[in-house]
Amino acid sequence: MSRPRALPTVIEAVEFRRDAYGLDCRQWAAVLGMAPSHYSEFVNGKRPLPKRAMTNAFAYGVPAEALFQTHPTKGASDIDRRLAQIGKRLKTIPSQGT
């Protein structure tokens, strides 16, 4: 019986594909439609991968399962806290025409 393989992080998946194509970071950033500095921030976990770059990465073979994971620097508690803030704001907006 084999164990299921762990899904690579989005950074690992994108970097694996970059290495497979033999591109340096600057070239791969251009393929993804990103500035090299933004790509560097993504690889270092400081910035999520933009949607446009996700689309391009998928077109070049990065699995969708790896792309649609939570950003490594954002925990569930951060997301829950942000959703709670949005919910509070929505409750303060008056409804129209009821």
Residue given tokens 């560097």 in the structure block = 40
Closest CA to 62 of 95, 17, 22, 21: 17
Give the orientation angle of helix 10-21 with respect to helix 36-43, to 10 degrees.
130
Query: Does residue 56 register a pLDDT over 80?
Result: yes
Q: Which domains does the chain have, with CATH numbers?
A: 10-92 (1.10.260)
61 — pLDDT class (breaks 50, 70, 90): very high
Q: Which of 20-24, 65-69, 92-96 has the lowest mean pLDDT?
A: 92-96
Output the pLDDT for position 34.
Answer: 97
Once rounded to an integer, what is the mean pLDDT over residues 12-27?
96
Higher pLDDT, 79 or 47: 47
Q: How far is CA 15 from the centre of its chain?
A: 13
73: tokens are 């620097």
